[in-house]
Amino acid sequence: MGTNNIEKWVVASDPGERKLWIVPVTNPQGVIKYVRVSPHVQSGIVAGVYDERAMDPRLVAVQLKAGLEDAGWAFLADLYAEDGQLVAWAAFQKWMRSTPMLGATEAPKPFPEKYLPSGIAERKAGKADHQLESDDIVIPEMDDPRPAHSSKRQRRAAGMD
Amino acid sequence: MAANAGFNKTSQNDLVEGVQIDQIILGMNAQPRVFQDVAWIAPQVTKPTWRIARNDLITVNATLAEADEASFTSFTTSGVEITPSVYPVRSHVSLELQQDSAVDVLSKAIADHAEVILNAIDANLLANISSATNTSDYNGTALDKAKFEAALLAFKKQKPNPGPIIFVGGYKQIADIIGAYGDAGGAVYGVPGVASNAVAGRQDSSIYYRGTVAGIDLFEAAVPASGGADVSGAFMVKNRALALGFWTMLDYKLTDPAGRVGVELMTYSRYGSGIASQSNLREVISLA
């Protein structure tokens, strides 16, 4: 699932102008989280692989921590890729760069909900794979039409008791 | 009318003194740092990796029949590993400035480097809030009493480790919470100073501790932005949620650069941060 050849993050910086990467992910309920990773910030959600040969490290790849994907977590970039909408992913990255997450002082308009990947709406509607509920409890015997004489009074009235 | 000739700053300009520089230099404009108060800090890690181990929850349900043999129970642990990276700041301090400056410029340079590094440590530690797996999402809305209490209840249901529960939030989050409890009025403040001291708390821009509401200590901090208009604050167990390990807390070295006068100053810290236990942390997203 997903693709490995796209950058699933946006490059930001901390107060000391060192690089910090923001990796948008969705949680199982469809809430978008802007996970920060860097050699100084070991995320509990995303594991980053860095090229640290230079003093200015470079993020090479990201991976969800074990078990999270099955639980319904996903990279936003992967959800866009699944929809075949990498154009929208580029627009989302551009929007991220205009937000206070990357130092803007004014909050921009929210990213339009209709341009979010379908995986977000699915999760919010509770219809993603990991959210499929087990079958409803069915007890056929109790669903059958009850006999008319189920109460003592009715049975007496019918002359059965 | 023409100016009267005589003694003035033009005719006597050789006698005019220069600028008096105050010895108090205003610091950088940054929000007060909270990491020293909220994080689990390992001040001197000596191994390449710092592992925070925790016991897994074990329950034993088997009942023992009379005269039967008890079965064995396995007890397991989990761990979070934090590795460090060097955080350097490097500057050339010229001989000319050292000689001509009104202050001890080398000391100032070291202190300024330290300030940048400490601000970054604070931001990087708080950036871990964005990696909480438990989230109460109120994006686009201001926190109020009901939301704050709902998020607190959800946090408690995570069964966090024992310890003081605190809320670390952005300026608006803290203001919204205090305002909401203030508006709640008599019921909350029936016994002034007992139920809460947050509303009457002293406003001082160097103080990040903003008092208590509903038994929760409020910390105003530079928490990470979340999306367009929101920030990620968090409920956490104090000193048991966000972890900060120092391999070198703060140090500096002076080098004589070849071919130049002056000195080269490098100040650095070697540290790493992470989440000690997800059960001890709950992100709360609301308007910034």
> What are the residue boundaries of the structural domains of chain B, listed by start?
27-55+78-188+197-288
Please tell me if residue B127 touches chain A, with a CB cutoff of 8 Å: yes
pLDDT score at A68? 95
Q: Which two tokens stand for residue B11?
A: 């005719």
- Rounded Cα–Cα distance for residues B197 and B191 (Å): 10
Weakest mean pLDDT among A37-46, B58-67, B177-186: B177-186
Contacts of B283 in chain A (CB under 8 A): 33
pLDDT score at B191? 45
Look at strands A32-37 and A19-26 and give their pairing: antiparallel
pLDDT score at B178? 87
- What distance in Å separates residue A94's CA from the closest CA in chain B? 12
- Nearest Cβ partner of A16 from B117, B137, B288? B117
The torsion angle over the Cα atoms of residues B20, B22, B27 and B32, rounded to 10 degrees, is -150
* Residue contacts between A and B (CB atoms, under 8 Å): 119
Cβ neighbours of residue A118 closer than 8 Å, sequence gap 6 or more: A79, A82, A83
Contacts of B225 in chain A (CB under 8 A): 34, 99-101
Contacts of B116 in chain A (CB under 8 A): 15-16
- What distance in Å separates residue A84's CA from the closest CA in chain B? 23
Q: B198 pLDDT exceeds 70?
A: no
- Rounded Cα–Cα distance for residues B199 and B213 (Å): 9
Weakest mean pLDDT among B188-192, B245-249, B264-268, B274-278: B188-192
- Nearest Cβ partner of B89 from A16, A29, A46? A16
pLDDT tens, residue by residue, B1-55? 788 999 989 999 999 998 998 888 899 999 999 999 999 999 999 999 999 999 9
- Rounded Cα–Cα distance for residues B122 and B192 (Å): 33
pLDDT score at A2? 47
Is A36 close to B225, i.e. CB distance below 8 A?
no
Residue B192: band (very low, low, confident or very high) from pLDDT cuts 50, 70, 90? very low
For residue A114, the number of C-alpha atoms closer than 13 Å in the C-beta half-sphere is 0
- The answer to whether B87 and B248 are in contact (CB under 8 A) is no
DSSP state of A151: S
Cβ neighbours of residue B29 closer than 8 Å, sequence gap 6 or more: none
- Rounded Cα–Cα distance for residues B155 and B214 (Å): 14
Quote the percentage of chain B above a pLDDT of 90.
Answer: 77
DSSP helix/strand/coil, B153 = helix
pLDDT score at A3? 59
User: Which of A9, A32, A33, A115 should we substitute to test contact with B (largest number of B Cβ atoms within 10 Å)?
Assistant: A33
Q: Element (H or E) spanning A20, and its range?
A: strand A19-26
Q: How far apart are the first and last CA of chain B?
A: 58
Look at strands A41-42 and B263-275 and give their pairing: parallel
Is B278 close to A108, i.e. CB distance below 8 A?
no
Please tell me if residue B117 touches chain A, with a CB cutoff of 8 Å: yes
Please tell me if residue A41 touches chain B, with a CB cutoff of 8 Å: yes
Q: Which residues does residue A23 pair with via DSSP β-bridges, in sequence order?
A: A35
User: Which of B85, B158, B280, B285 should we substitute to test contact with A (largest number of A Cβ atoms within 10 Å)?
Assistant: B85
Look at strands B281-287 and B230-237 and give their pairing: antiparallel
Contacts of B81 in chain A (CB under 8 A): 42
For B69-129, the DSSP string reads PPPP----EEEEEE--EEEEEEEEE-HHHHHH-SS-HHHHHHHHHHHHHHHHHHHHHHHGG
- What distance in Å separates residue B158's CA from the closest CA in chain A? 16
What mean pLDDT is reported for chain B? 91
Cβ neighbours of residue B32 closer than 8 Å, sequence gap 6 or more: B205, B206, B207, B208, B220, B221
In single-letter form, the type of residue at position B189 comes to Y
Contacts of B273 in chain A (CB under 8 A): 40-42
pLDDT tens, residue by residue, A100-130? 999 888 888 899 999 999 999 999 998 888 8
Please tell me if residue A19 touches chain B, with a CB cutoff of 8 Å: no
Is A52 close to B85, i.e. CB distance below 8 A?
yes
- Rounded Cα–Cα distance for residues B160 and B237 (Å): 7
- The answer to whether B137 and B150 are in contact (CB under 8 A) is no
Here the ipTM equals 0.86
The angle at the Cα of B116, spanning B110 to B122, to the nearest 5 degrees, equals: 130
Contacts of A32 in chain B (CB under 8 A): 227
Q: Which two tokens stand for residue B262?
A: 């002056």
- Other Cβ atoms less than 10 A from the Cβ of A83: the count is 14
Q: Which of B103-107, B207-211, B240-244 has the highest mean pLDDT?
A: B240-244
Nearest residue of B to residue A17, measured between CA atoms: B120
For A61-116, the DSSP string reads EEEEPTTTTTTT-EEHHHHHHHHT-HHHHHHHHHHHHTSGGGT-SS--PPPPGGGS
Identify the CATH number of the domain defined by range B27-55+78-188+197-288: 3.90.1690
Contacts of B87 in chain A (CB under 8 A): 16, 18, 40
- Rounded Cα–Cα distance for residues A33 and A25 (Å): 5
Please tell me if residue A91 touches chain B, with a CB cutoff of 8 Å: no
Nearest residue of B to residue A40, measured between CA atoms: B272
- Rounded Cα–Cα distance for residues A52 and A59 (Å): 9
Closest to B249 (Cα-Cα) out of B84, B123, B124 = B84
Is B85 close to A27, i.e. CB distance below 8 A?
no
pLDDT tens, residue by residue, A19-28? 999 999 999 9
Residue B200: band (very low, low, confident or very high) from pLDDT cuts 50, 70, 90? low
Is A110 close to B227, i.e. CB distance below 8 A?
yes
